[in-house]
Amino acid sequence: MEEKLTFRRYRDNDEKYTRWSEDIFNEDTSYKCPTYVHRTPPCQGSCPSGEDIRGWLQIVRGIEKPPADMNWQEYAFRRSTDANPFPAIMGRVCPAPCQDGCNRNEVEDFVGINSVEQFIGDSALQARLSFEKPAQETGKKVAIIGGGVAGLAAAYQLRRLGHGAAIFDEREELGGMTRYGIPGYRMPRDVMDGEIQRILDMGVEVHMQTRAGRDISFEQLEHDYDAILLAIGAQQGRSLNIPGGDAPNCVSGVAFLAAFNEGRMQNTARKVVVIGGGDTAMDVVSVARRLGHINTPHEGDRPESVIRDLTAHDVATTAKREGSEVILIYRRPIENMPAAEHERITARKEGITLRGSLAPRELVIGEDGRATALRVIEVDWTDGKMTEKEGSEFDIECDLIVPAVGQSGDLSGLEQFDNGRGLVDCDKFYQLPDKPSYFACGDIVRPHLLTTAIGQASVAVDSIDRYLNSAEPGRRPKVDVHHFNLLDKLRETSLEPQAYDHHQSWGTDEAGYAVHNYEDRSRQEIIPHDMLYLGHFPYTPRNKREETGVGADEVLGHFEERFRGLDEDNVRAEAERCMSCGMCFECDNCVIYCPQDAVKRTAKADATMGRYVYTDYDRCIGCHICAEVCPTGYINMGMGAD
């Protein structure tokens, strides 16, 4: 074989191992030149509903421009609701895993994503913005069992695709746990109603006080609809599995909150003990402190009677109520509670006692069969496992015990779907096994956050759409969220590439059918903070919403909304703190610092979001300076010209 065709990594007498990557470099230059790589930011990667958070923050701050016929408030709303149709709701009640993942935490503090989202949602309600009805109907119809956020989000996404959507719900009003589980001072009902109505106005059928499996059979649903989506939620609290746990004054957190939100329970007990550490537990203790108690109530006025829907309180009794003593116990240390830190801070401020590392042992039962105390034992977590401390048992006196230790679905009439744990099994496409026309999403699959249910609904609708079109389920992206799409942006701004005739040609640097210098890795990669130039970002304190929280002496009867939203100036200032991880935000660092004037701004007539700069490879020497000073990690050194 001729020598020129022979591959040899090492020559005769070579003794030193070398890396190929090191062979590329030559003094202060290399054959690597800048490429522009779009990645998913960690806020979006941490968002279970997959919102394009960076995208709508860029719109709010004025970097990404709206179309000429739209203001930025509406444009941000449209971008936000591509994934999640409830910005005003989620801006208030979402525990914001996106903020936990925010790379700005490496500088000083996360971006207040919730506060900006609340502004977007409230602005849309004030402007009476609506969702467009589909331009064309497919003729396919889907029955959605359950009218909570999962079912409503699914109806929204189905209508956007032109499919018919009909919601069946056993309650009097839509909203599920958002309405019947979250107190009104955290989630104002007019805000919720406005965001729900916007979805219904897209042409969604609604059948209230209709329970599938009881009022309408699944055989009938299968006959009338092309697919069925189970989104019934998990509105049944788990019982306290300890001796005495069936005492009449031991009621679940879900039932407690439902009785309050339905207006049936106007006061609670004198001494309330809540067991749990999640959002439901925190809502229960907060409500209990606000309701207070009345002395010497009639037996029928006891809170457990109301909670079990045996009676209802007279509103007039609220004038007689006094403060309640409320204590929350959690099996793990308090700092390890799932509830957000600000919830713990607020609870203590309101006079609620939080005690961690306590495990419930049994309920002490009185002569009348009601529990008089909760017996607990101290536990230790030093080695990561719970160890009971011998001889540390003690009793906590109480009149009402509220366990908030998990939830399951009420599957009466739907027993065929029960996986044995009060939930429904499905595959990664949210399709039920051996039932091709059935799908599920939300808490009935896995009790979690509202935003999780919304994200599952989006994936489930994509699967339903493929099923209705007799297509195989598509492979889901590794980073399965709603991504910024440069091609869509180019089309929106009339800068789309020319049509490609698919004839073979050499070189595309002058071709108008190709998008140059750009690589989209957003479906595979989330950009970490160590790929950013953090030194670019000065210390900038977060613009915080004003909290209307009160102290222990004022909490009784206080039902004012907890947070006041930011005004426009502050919301834009907060959006400015976004570091635009994985996407250019037009800082000009690469243009300014390039020693060869090789990095240039794209002409204004051709520029848009994601296409602000380009590299003249005839001038580039591969010095890497542009990549080093790029704050957002958008520039990567890739193989360029010789």
pLDDT digits (tens, 9 = 90+) for 371-416: 999 999 999 999 889 999 999 999 999 999 999 998 999 999 999 9
Percent of the chain with pLDDT over 70: 95
Percent of the chain with pLDDT over 90: 81
Written as one letter, the residue type at 637 is M
Instruction: Please report the pLDDT score of residue 11 as a whole number.
Output: 72
Which pTM was predicted?
0.91
pLDDT digits (tens, 9 = 90+) for 30-81: 678 899 999 999 999 999 999 999 999 999 999 999 999 999 999 999 999 9
d(CA 416, CA 23): 64
Instruction: Please report the pLDDT score of residue 642 as a whole number.
Output: 40
Residue 321 sits at the vertex; the CA angle it makes with 319 and 323, to the nearest 5 degrees, is: 140
Phi, psi of 524 (to 5 degrees): -120, -25
Confidence of residue 15 (pLDDT cuts 50, 70, 90): confident
Instruction: Please report the pLDDT score of residue 352 as a whole number.
Output: 97
Structure tokens at 209: 């006080």
Q: Are 230 and 422 in contact (CB under 8 A)?
A: no
Confidence of residue 21 (pLDDT cuts 50, 70, 90): low
Beta pairing partners, 443? none
Using the structure block, give the residue that is written with the tokens 């108008």.
Answer: 512
Q: How far is CA 50 from CA 37, 131, 265, 511, in A?
A: 20, 19, 37, 34
Domains of the chain in start order, with CATH, are 25-40+485-521+582-642 (3.30.70.20), 49-129+538-574 (no CATH), 141-235+409-468 (3.50.50.60), 237-406 (3.50.50.60)
Instruction: Please report the pLDDT score of residue 1 as a whole number.
Output: 41
303 by Cβ neighbours in 10 Å (0-12 / 13-18 / 19+) ranks as buried
pLDDT digits (tens, 9 = 90+) for 459-474: 999 999 999 999 998 8
Instruction: Please report the pLDDT score of residue 318 as a whole number.
Output: 74
Rounded mean pLDDT, 225-235: 97
pLDDT digits (tens, 9 = 90+) for 353-382: 999 999 999 999 999 999 999 999 999 999
Instruction: Please report the pLDDT score of residue 387 as a whole number.
Output: 95
CA-based torsion, 458, 460, 461, 466: positive or negative: positive
Residue 417 has pLDDT above 80, yes or no: yes
CA-based torsion, 404, 190, 171, 321: positive or negative: positive
Rounded mean pLDDT, 277-295: 95
In the chain, % helix, strand, coil (3-state, to 5) comes to 30, 15, 50
Antiparallel, parallel or unpaired: β 32-38 and 635-639: antiparallel
Q: Bigger pLDDT: 503 or 164?
A: 164
Q: Are 499 and 513 in contact (CB under 8 A)?
A: yes
d(CA 228, CA 590): 52
d(CA 329, CA 323): 19
Residue by residue, DSSP assigns 263-322 as: T----B-SEEEEE--SHHHHHHHHHHHHH-B-SS--GGGSHHHHHTTS----GGGGGG-B
Beta pairing partners, 600? 614
d(CA 484, CA 161): 19
Rounded mean pLDDT, 210-232: 97
Q: Single out the residue of 415, 369, 163 nearest to residue 250, CA to CA.
A: 369
